[in-house]
Structure 1
Amino acid sequence: MVRFTIEGTPITVAYGYDEGLSDYFLSVYDKRLEIKDDGGGSYFDLHTGKIGFGMRVSIETIRVYLARYGVPKKKIQELFSGKYSEKNQKLQENQKEFSIPKSGIICNKSGCNQDWINHKLICDALPYPVKSQSQQSVYGIYLPEDNDKPIFVSVSFKMVYDKEDNTHYQRLDKESFLGKDAFTSSSVMARNPLNPQRVMQNMLVISYRDHFLKDGKSKTNKTVYNMTKGKLLHDWRGPILVTKAEGLNIIDFHNYIDIDSSDFSDLFDFFLSYG
């Protein structure tokens, strides 16, 4: 968590970012409203995350109130730049120990030594894209049918409430990658059949057009063909989107998380073994 304070009289403003809980937050303390017995009644609180004090609001709303309560424009831009996310904090830590490939993606040192041939493909891919501040999203890997290399992408999602199960789940925007008019299917990878020693902590979800062999428009996926050097066992056609689901329950999963370069070896083995 990162927290900043603007001290003032009678108003003090605190704001910052607490990933996974309150996310972006704003707390305004007004001494004039203080109840002397316990200090209560003196706060105005906003947050954008699942848990937090006060009212949950949109990112656009909290940006407006940050400006209203005197947070400098430059500080607001810095806060929403993604600089303080856990992923970027980890990248900054890794930069002290490992070199940075030209893509800007931090490679896992041991992973590179073990899987350099296929790992190099993802290192040469585009860097992680900037996530939209107006939409919730996770990182995925996009395998275009007419490209030579995989691409890191930001996949937006909406939270949907299921009345029957009384739970919320993430509905990913797969259509933007697989086609607006396409019916989609997915294969879930919870273990690596070619390398059982690689214990997976989370699942890879490989999504594709449902009838790509028969739809008459899906072409052989060049990205998969190049990744496997033509050794794939299945005639993969059309675009493919790969995302990561939290946990290993292949029947009931609702929470997607960011995919990263360390998942690429499992994905590579999936295409070598599926068929």
Structure 2
Amino acid sequence: MIDVILPPPSFPSSKETMTRYTIEQGSVAISYGTDHMTGYFLSVVDQRLMWEQNASEAVNGIAKKVEPGGNGAYFDLHTGMGGFGIRVSKEVIVEFMRRYGVPEDELKLVRAGRDI
């Protein structure tokens, strides 16, 4: 058995505000922001991986294997106590936010523990 050591939860300075921004890259939507429960979050959704009403059972079955709800999300990170995906440290989420194109001025706010 492998023990997993989770980082302590990290929240932005204002725990009452939710912010959400989206970067569109073709069929891929990268959403990021802050929330009082999830802390900082990053979510990547590909519309091509979504469940579709007119798709075959086999195709929709694959979409549900990528994400059980069939919503096309395949990468979710958060720094708070709750949220979708994997809880990570502030440093880790900043690195993945950078990789997915979050502007540097907003990354500076995350590093400082402030709302985006």
Question: 2:97 touches 2:107 (CA, 8 Å); kept in 1?
Answer: yes
Equivalence map 1:126-275=2 (5 Å): none
Aligned with residue 77 of structure 1, among 108, 111, 116: 108
Structure 1 or 2, whichever has the larger Rg, is 1
Partner of 2:47: 31
State the Cα deviation string for residues 81-138 of structure 1 (Å, max 9, x = none): 34329xxxxxxxxxxxxxxxxxxxxxxxxxxxxxxxxxxxxxxxxxxxxxxxxxxxxx
Report the residue type matching 1:81 in the other structure. A
Question: 2:91 touches 2:111 (CA, 8 Å); kept in 1?
Answer: no
Indicate the RMSD between aligned Cα atoms, in angstroms: 2.2
The separation in 2 between residues aligned to 1:57 and 1:73, in whole angstroms, is 20
Aligned with residue 95 of structure 2, among 57, 64, 75: 64
State the Cα deviation string for residues 173-195 of structure 1 (Å, max 9, x = none): xxxxxxxxxxxxxxxxxxxxxxx
Matched, 1:9 2:26: yes
Q: Quote how far apart the aligned CAs of 1:71 are.
A: 0.9
Aligned with residue 38 of structure 2, among 4, 16, 22: 22
Aligned with residue 54 of structure 1, among 85, 92, 95: 85
Moved over 6 A (4+): none
- Between 1 and 2, higher relative CO (CA 8 Å, sep ≥ 6) is seen in 2
State the Cα deviation string for residues 204-261 of structure 1 (Å, max 9, x = none): xxxxxxxxxxxxxxxxxxxxxxxxxxxxxxxxxxxxxxxxxxxxxxxxxxxxxxxxxx
The separation in 2 between residues aligned to 1:73 and 1:55, in whole angstroms, is 23
Q: 1:80 to 1:17 in 2, by over 3 A?
A: farther
Q: Quote how far apart the aligned CAs of 1:41 are.
A: 4.9
- The alignment of Structure 1 onto Structure 2 pairs a total of residues equal to 84
Q: Quote how far apart the aligned CAs of 1:79 are.
A: 3.4
Report the residue type matching 2:48 in the other structure. R
Q: Quote how far apart the aligned CAs of 1:51 are.
A: 0.5
Question: 1:17 touches 1:79 (CA, 8 Å); kept in 2?
Answer: no
Secondary structure, aligned partner of 2:115: coil
Aligned with residue 70 of structure 2, among 14, 24, 40: 40
Gaps of 5+ in 2: 1-17, 54-59, 61-68
Which structure shows the bigger proportion of residues in strand conformation? Answer: 2
Secondary structure, aligned partner of 2:25: coil
TM-score, normalised relative to structure 2:
0.63
